[in-house]
Chain A
């Protein structure tokens, strides 16, 4: 199962997910993951709106804005969306564990 994110807002439940089509639309709309740090005001709205598209294709922009404004911990939320978005491409790249059942371990220090 791919990664999904659920938002509950004023009695409504929004399921956020990317498929390849919506990931492509996000990219065509100008989203570039490498610019999310330098152009957050441009990139974040694109990926947030794109994440709604798969399960809420007819949602209005102002509804998305309202829901997004209500969210807590927006940075974490956006990072999760980026992760979901990248999975659309990453799943196409064969992972080592598919062959050997073992992956190399890696760690971070932050």
Chain B
């Protein structure tokens, strides 16, 4: 093996570009340098790209797709709010509202996007409804008791 390879050249990065000079082929050099800007643009550092685990690029690509999906979801949601607000505008301003038309208010909270959020909202709504009934009952009972006490006091 000895004498066949210049290790110094390997260690120092090698200056000769024999492969790409001798033949017009698509080399690793071309591939690495052409892809580097893309990976740097999606958050990979130059050190990670050149010196670290070669599999990192796969993780960065997948992470980028997730980020894009999330951004897309956020933009869609923002558009939805704007769309809703625009739809509500004539009614809110009421000058354009038809007679007897109820004013629609802007949502007090973001839309529930997941099934879990939807269930949580429904549970909260149910709890609030039960509290309302309970409060009404308590109010009715205290009023009833007061009336009864007044009646007893008179008689």
User: Which A residues fall within an 8 A CB radius of B?
Assistant: 1-2, 18-21, 23-32, 41-42, 44-46, 48-50, 53, 57, 60-62, 64-65, 68-69, 87-89, 91-92, 94-95, 98
A44: chain B residues at CB < 8 Å are: 1
B115 in contact (CB, < 8 A): no
B57 in contact (CB, < 8 A): yes
A53: chain B residues at CB < 8 Å are: 10-11
B69 in contact (CB, < 8 A): no
CB-contacts of B53-77 with A (<8 A): 53-55, 57-58, 61-62, 65
A20 CA to B55 CA, complexed, in Å: 10
Q: What is the predominant secondary structure among interface residues of chain A facing chain B?
A: helix
User: Which B residues fall within an 8 A CB radius of A?
Assistant: 1-2, 4-7, 9-11, 13-19, 27-29, 31-32, 35, 49-55, 57-58, 61-62, 65
- Nearest-Cβ distance from residue A99 to partner chain B, whole angstroms: 9
Count A-B pairs with CB separation below 8 Å.
107
A64: chain B residues at CB < 8 Å are: 1, 7
- Nearest-Cβ distance from residue A36 to partner chain B, whole angstroms: 13
A31 CA to B1 CA, complexed, in Å: 15
A94 CA to B5 CA, complexed, in Å: 33
9 contacts between A and B (CB under 8 A): A24-B29, A27-B29, A29-B10, A30-B16, A31-B19, A60-B7, A61-B2, A62-B2, A88-B32
